[in-house]
């Protein structure tokens, strides 16, 4: 497995596995290729969008690091990073998320980001455990969402 920057041509393949995540009940956002291009691969606030690829070149997962800009829909403090992670269901628990965060962490350091927000559904135990394992700590919660913070400086 290796990681590389996502390119627009990855959108179809990413869309396909996001649809699989919807099918298994692990996602409820749009997953069409246009959504993937606009919100993940080429969003104006992107710091980096990374994919993990298998030896045969197939995409195993995606991680997006954006900068929180004024009026961001997550209510995250301006200047923080905002992270999202999506791993192909049949590639879960193989270290894909870990490899993606290694690349994202480097991008955060290079961009001078000090804190990263991860906002996860409160009923998503694997997502919560994943971010805990990456070193994120809970800093706020609502009835439906838990927000965790990673301190890049530590
Ligand atoms: C959550 C998700 C990103 C984890 O990705 P992954 O590639 O399976 O994670 P990794 O294999 O790198 O696991 C790293 C660590 O995270 C934790 N972890 C990951 N999945 C877990 C699970 N299902 N249960 C408990 N801990 C888990 C473990 O500590 C794991 O280390 P270990 O395998 O040595 O015990 C992936 O399952 C996913 O995409 N889920 C659907 C979308 C989602 O929920 N995204 C995140 C919230 S928005």
Residue boundaries of the structural domains of the chain: 2-151
| Per-residue confidence (pLDDT) for residue 13, from 0 to 100 | 98
Tell me the CA–centroid distance for residue 70 and ligand 1, in Å.
30
The residue contributing the CA closest to ligand 1 atom 17 is: 130
Residue-wise burial string across 122-149, b where 16 or more C-beta atoms lie within 10 A, e elsewhere? eeeeebbebbeebebeeeeeeeeebbbb
Tell me the CA–centroid distance for residue 80 and ligand 1, in Å.
23
Q: How far apart are CA 100 and CA 87, in angstroms?
A: 10
Q: Tell whether pTM > 0.95.
A: yes
Provide the token pair at 56.
């045969």
| Per-residue confidence (pLDDT) for residue 154, from 0 to 100 | 82
The residue contributing the CA closest to ligand 1 atom 1 is: 127
Tell me the CA–centroid distance for residue 133 and ligand 1, in Å.
8
| Per-residue confidence (pLDDT) for residue 50, from 0 to 100 | 98
Fold of the domain built from segment(s) 2-151: Aminopeptidase (3.40.630)
Tell me the CA–centroid distance for residue 122 and ligand 1, in Å.
15
Q: Which residues contact ligand 1 via a Cβ below 6 A?
A: 21, 26, 61, 84-87, 92-98, 120, 124, 126-127, 129-130, 133
Cβ neighbors of 114 (< 8 A, separation 6 or more) are 79, 80, 151, 152, 153
pLDDT lower than 70: segments of the chain: none
| Per-residue confidence (pLDDT) for residue 105, from 0 to 100 | 98
């Amino acid at each position: 497995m290796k990681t590389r920057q996502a390119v627009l041509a990855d959108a179809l393949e990413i869309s396909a596995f996001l649809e699989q995540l919807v099918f298994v009940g692990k996602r409820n956002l749009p997953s069409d290729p246009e959504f993937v291009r606009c919100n993940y691969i080429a969003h104006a606030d992107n710091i980096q969008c990374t994919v993990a690829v298998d030896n045969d070149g197939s995409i195993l997962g995606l991680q997006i690091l954006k900068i929180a800009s004024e009026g961001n829909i997550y209510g995250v403090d301006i200047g923080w990073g905002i992270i999202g992670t999506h791993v192909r269901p049949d590639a879960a628990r193989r270290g894909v998320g870990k490899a993606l965060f290694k690349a994202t962490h480097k991008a955060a350091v290079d961009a001078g980001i000090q804190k990263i927000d991860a906002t996860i559904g409160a009923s998503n135990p694997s997502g919560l455990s994943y971010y805990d394992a990456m070193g994120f700590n809970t800093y706020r919660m609502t009835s439906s969402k838990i927000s965790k913070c990673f301190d890049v400086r530590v």
